[in-house]
């Protein structure tokens, strides 16, 4: 069997920094010496077995990570990962966000937000040769994109013959390798416990990405299946899922210097990007994103401040925007004045010099390296032109466009439909439509669209979408009053804001859409052909870029290998393992030394009784009385709240199990520090720290404040 690029990339892994790297589980035996030296007591080979302990207990929520912590399907993750479910079950009369929620029996558990899933990984297989066949390798542009997608869909269809499973075929190393990942897709997910916002979101946006931190960022779901153990939609007859493996809770707390690892599903990193991508992102894209996010937040605040129910509808969106807003601004602050671009440019020039120094390497790689730089510039220009347009979409128009596309695609055999619109995708589409009940308000949406449309219409005519403008009845040079009147007419002419009306369109035929007088449906139909043309052009560019980027990555792997350096793939929402140690920072971003732990005494010191620092009275009373029980740290003389570690994580790792040397749960990863989040692009060993909520704080709060004794007993914490 030929060696894969993955195997070649890790032959020299001994030279990698001990704490750097989001490693694929199958890579871990190759770095066994480093893991053992760092303190791991398990056999590294055991971590490759995704259906054994501890990997079998680690799950994905499709955006966050989580873990099974009881034989009855109890799932622990971050508070901000269950936030939408708490918000959508909240009303002004029963504000679960503010007051928290504890189900003291199975009967008291409530459905999670529509579309919530628990994905249990069952199998990972290298399928590169089945995706990029010899015939596909000869193709370019859209033909290549289409052929790859066709092969991916065929693999997925065969894999999903096992009912109740969700299969994906993501790419690694810029499309050099593809792996088929099979996951049990648990569709009946229920909210079990979330602490009050004064615990789970303590410090709010003020403390987000900051240290010291005192946030109890934890929450619980439960996974349910049919009585015969199969994935099923919500039903009162369903029973808790029985996982083969659950995480054991550590009996001893961690201390500074201890080994720690996290297992989870990091979203995206960009460490293999070219200098031109770095420059475009930090000089234009992130500043534009920060500006648009700030404007969006201000509009939502203005439009919801006098309506508690509407504010609850947008609470999840506000939390998400705030998180990325501060994240991107933190990256920009770290980038400003740094030598990152200069270093990246120098590294790229060294790669090109190495390629050109050998005739064989030059013949194999030089043309594609030049081509990828040209294609990236073309892609970035399109991103820039479409930026305001992407923000200016009325939510109901986006929904109508999705429903019409679904109707059109449904006329084809399932295998020929566009990925995202196959039969397997229907539950997600239905959940998205259903979620609008508690996430959409016409007044707020119109205000957002009005603002971003003005920016869009200020662009040169060549950067505008003529079909979109015509469908909405808008044009450059309109006064604000004229634009507002056009939007009023559009919103007033649609019934898609009504739940039953939206759901009815899920089963309509294309002719029904084409005959409709509904304003948003008409606009979706009118813009469809132009949208499809734009999509085809994007796929043509994407196919060319994938081919050239793959060649670039092949050259980079060979170059780094020649220097004895390891190459782990950028994160892509697949299961990864990262390891390091519990550690403070001798020189924090604020000029002070950072200790590795914070304690509940810091909660009391910060508590103001209102806003982001409104800690529950019962909690403050327990802290004042030093009612710490067995959860007190003997050295700290208090209950630890959060701790720092040198783990290499990113978005998507939220809720990842932090494990000790024996694979026992010691906490949950939930954040990074503001000056180190640029590690998504540029890893810095000295600065990079991630933040965990300490298990001892979770258990202490559940016992002494929320009285969740039933859950403590279920997890074996009593």
Across-strand partners of 579?
261
Q: Are 105 and 44 in contact (CB under 8 A)?
A: no
Q: Which helix (H) or strand (E) covers residue 124, if one does?
A: strand 118-126
CA-to-CA distance for 409 and 402, rounded, in angstroms? 10
Q: Are 262 and 668 in contact (CB under 8 A)?
A: no
CA-to-CA distance for 312 and 28, rounded, in angstroms? 44
Other Cβ atoms less than 10 A from the Cβ of 434: the count is 17
Q: Are 169 and 178 in contact (CB under 8 A)?
A: yes
Pull the structure tokens for residue 381.
């220009």
Other Cβ atoms less than 10 A from the Cβ of 158: the count is 11
E runs forming strands in 26-88: 58-60, 65-68, 74-77
The strand pair at 188-194 and 219-225 is best described as antiparallel
DSSP state for residue 203 in the 8-state scheme: T
Cα–Cα nearest to 105, from 715, 714, 552: 714
Burial of 472 per CB tally in 10 Å (0-12, 13-18, 19+): buried
Four-point Cα dihedral 269, 273, 279, 282, nearest 10: 0
CA-to-CA distance for 241 and 345, rounded, in angstroms? 51
Pull the structure tokens for residue 173.
């190393």
CA-to-CA distance for 9 and 6, rounded, in angstroms? 5
From the centroid of its chain, how far is CA 195?
22
Backbone angles phi, psi at 261, to 5 degrees: -135, 155
Q: Which helix (H) or strand (E) covers residue 520, if one does?
A: helix 519-562
Residue carrying structure tokens 């939206």: 502
| HSE, side-chain direction, 13 A CA sphere, residue 537 | 9
Other Cβ atoms less than 10 A from the Cβ of 300: the count is 23
Across-strand partners of 268?
572
Residue carrying structure tokens 């990570």: 65
CA 244 to each of CA 57, 186, 328, 520: distance values in angstroms, whole numbers, following the listed order: 8, 15, 39, 48
Pull the structure tokens for residue 493.
């002419």
CA-based torsion, 220, 226, 232, 237: positive or negative? negative
Cis peptide preceding 212, ω within 30 of 0? yes
Q: How big is the CA angle at 499 (ends 493 and 502), to the nearest 5 degrees?
A: 60
Which residues are catalytic, by number? Answer: 80, 217, 654
Residue carrying structure tokens 């009784």: 609
Question: Largest Cα–Cα distance of the chain, in whole Å?
Answer: 75
Q: Are 100 and 711 in contact (CB under 8 A)?
A: no
């Amino acid at each position: 069997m030929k060696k894969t690029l993955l195997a070649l990339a890790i032959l020299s892994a001994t030279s990698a920094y001990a704490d750097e790297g989001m490693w694929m589980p199958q890579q871990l035996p190759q770095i066994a010496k480093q893991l053992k030296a760092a303190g791991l007591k398990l056999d590294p080979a055991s971590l490759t077995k995704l259906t054994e302990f501890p990997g079998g207990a680690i799950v994905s929520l499709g955006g966050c990570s989580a873990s099974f912590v009881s034989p009855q399907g109890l799932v622990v993750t971050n508070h901000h990962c269950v936030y939408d479910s708490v918000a959508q079950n909240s009303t002004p009369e029963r504000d679960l966000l503010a007051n928290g929620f504890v189900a003291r029996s199975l009967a008291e558990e409530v459905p999670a937000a529509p579309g919530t899933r628990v994905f249990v990984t069952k199998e990972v297989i290298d399928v590169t040769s089945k995706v990029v066949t010899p015939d596909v390798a000869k193709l370019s542009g859209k033909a290549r994109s289409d052929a790859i997608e066709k092969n991916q869909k065929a693999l997925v269809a065969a894999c999903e013959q096992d009912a109740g499973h969700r299969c994906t075929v993501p790419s690694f190393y810029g499309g050099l390798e593809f792996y088929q990942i099979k996951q049990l897709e648990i569709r009946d997910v229920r909210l079990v416990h979330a602490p009050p916002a004064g615990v789970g979101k303590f410090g709010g946006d003020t403390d987000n990405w900051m240290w010291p931190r005192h946030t109890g960022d934890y929450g619980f779901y439960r996974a349910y299946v049919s009585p015969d153990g199969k994935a099923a939609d919500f039903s009162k007859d369903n029973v808790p899922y029985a996982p083969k493996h659950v995480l054991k809770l550590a009996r001893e707390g961690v201390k500074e210097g201890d080994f720690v690892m996290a297992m989870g599903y990091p979203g995206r990193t960009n460490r293999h990007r070219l200098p031109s991508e770095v420059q475009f992102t930090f000089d234009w894209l992130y500043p534009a994103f920060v500006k648009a996010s700030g404007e969006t937040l201000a509009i939502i605040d203005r439009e919801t401040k006098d309506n508690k129910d509407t504010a609850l509808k947008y609470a999840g969106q506000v939390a998400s925007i705030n998180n990325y807003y501060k994240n991107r601004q933190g990256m920009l602050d770290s980038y400003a004045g740094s030598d990152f671009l200069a270093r990246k440019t120098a590294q790229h020039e060294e790669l090109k010099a190495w390629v050109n120094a050998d005739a064989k390497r030059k013949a194999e790689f030089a043309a594609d390296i030049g081509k990828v730089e040209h294609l990236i510039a073309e892609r970035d220009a399109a991103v820039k032109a479409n930026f305001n347009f992407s923000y200016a979409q009325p939510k109901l128009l986006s929904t109508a466009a999705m429903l019409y596309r679904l109707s059109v695609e449904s006329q084809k055999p399932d295998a020929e439909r566009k990925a995202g619109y196959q039969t397997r995708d229907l539950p997600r589409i239905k959940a998205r439509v259903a979620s609008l009940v508690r996430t959409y308000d016409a007044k707020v949406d119109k205000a957002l669209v009005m603002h971003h449309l003005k920016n869009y219409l200020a662009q040169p005519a060549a950067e505008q979408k003529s079909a979109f403008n015509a469908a909405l009845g808008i044009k450059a040079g309109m006064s604000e009053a004229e634009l507002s009147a056009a939007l009023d007419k559009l919103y007033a002419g649609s019934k898609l804001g009504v739940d039953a009306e939206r759901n009815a369109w899920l089963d309509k035929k294309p002719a029904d859409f084409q005959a409709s007088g509904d304003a948003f449906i008409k606009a979706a139909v009118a813009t469809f052909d132009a949208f499809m043309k734009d999509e085809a052009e994007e796929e043509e560019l994407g196919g060319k870029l994938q081919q050239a980027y793959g060649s670039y990555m092949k050259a980079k792997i060979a170059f780094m290998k020649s220097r004895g350096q390891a190459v782990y793939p950028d994160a892509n929402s697949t299961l990864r393992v990262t390891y390091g140690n519990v550690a403070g920072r001798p020189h924090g971003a604020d000029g002070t030394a950072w200790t590795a732990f914070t304690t509940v005494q810091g909660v009391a010191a910060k508590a103001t009784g209102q806003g982001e620092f409104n800690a529950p009275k019962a909690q403050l009373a327990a802290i004042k009385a030093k009612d710490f029980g067995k959860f007190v740290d003997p050295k700290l003389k208090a209950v630890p709240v959060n701790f720092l570690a040198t783990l290499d994580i990113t978005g998507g790792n939220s809720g990842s199990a932090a494990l000790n040397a024996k694979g026992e749960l010691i906490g949950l990863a939930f954040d990074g520090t503001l000056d180190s989040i640029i590690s998504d692009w540029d890893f810095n060993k000295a600065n990079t720290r991630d933040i965990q909520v300490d298990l001892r704080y979770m258990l202490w709060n559940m016992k002494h404040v929320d009285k969740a004794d039933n859950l403590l007993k279920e997890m074996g914490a009593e």
